[in-house]
Amino acid sequence: MPQAARCSAAVAGVLLLLGAGCLGGGSSSSTGSTAVGGPTRAQFTQQAVAICQRYQRRIGTLKTASDLAHLASQGARAVALERAELRELRALTPPAADRAAVKRMLDSLDQAIGTGDKLVAAAKANDAAGVAADAELLKAQLGTTGVLARPFGLDVCTS
């Protein structure tokens, strides 16, 4: 496969990965009672899912990139939306018993967003190999974030 074709295939997949960075879906089966100083897990999950769904819709409107320049442009938009989503999620108060786990999950998402930034920089530099490497790292990081999100009824978006 010629480099241009490989690059186009990688670019198309990468923007989908950037869009998949948001958390969303699922619902928590834990209802529990309100802990002192925080909501129940179900209340936290409901708030987080609402935030995630709003950003998932916005990221879903981004066009699939056809080349590295377009990937850089669309990727920068996706990263900006992910950063805004993360700020809103960090502003939520998780249940007291889950605060450390929620912090780990959000820190993992933050790390993936940082990799998305690197991917965008590689696309701006017309570095197809860098884009491909960052895409693989991003995919792994989003998988980790999904595992950390699962106990809260949140999974990494697949669409």
Q: Which of 60, 52, 58, 116 is nearest to 88 (CA)?
A: 52
Structure tokens at 74: 């669309």
CA distances (Å), origin 54, targets 69, 92, 100, 150, 159? 27, 15, 25, 19, 13
> Where in the chain are the domains?
3-14+37-156
**Cα–Cα distance for residue pair 75/21, rounded to 1 Å:** 11
Q: What is the CATH number of domain 3-14+37-156?
A: 1.20.120
Digit-by-digit pLDDT tens for the chain (159 residues) are 444 444 444 444 454 445 444 454 444 444 444 445 579 999 999 999 999 889 989 998 998 888 999 999 999 999 999 999 999 999 999 999 999 999 999 999 999 999 999 999 999 999 999 999 999 999 999 999 999 998 887 864 433
Amino acid at 106: L
Structure tokens at 71: 């990937």
pTM of this prediction? Answer: 0.80
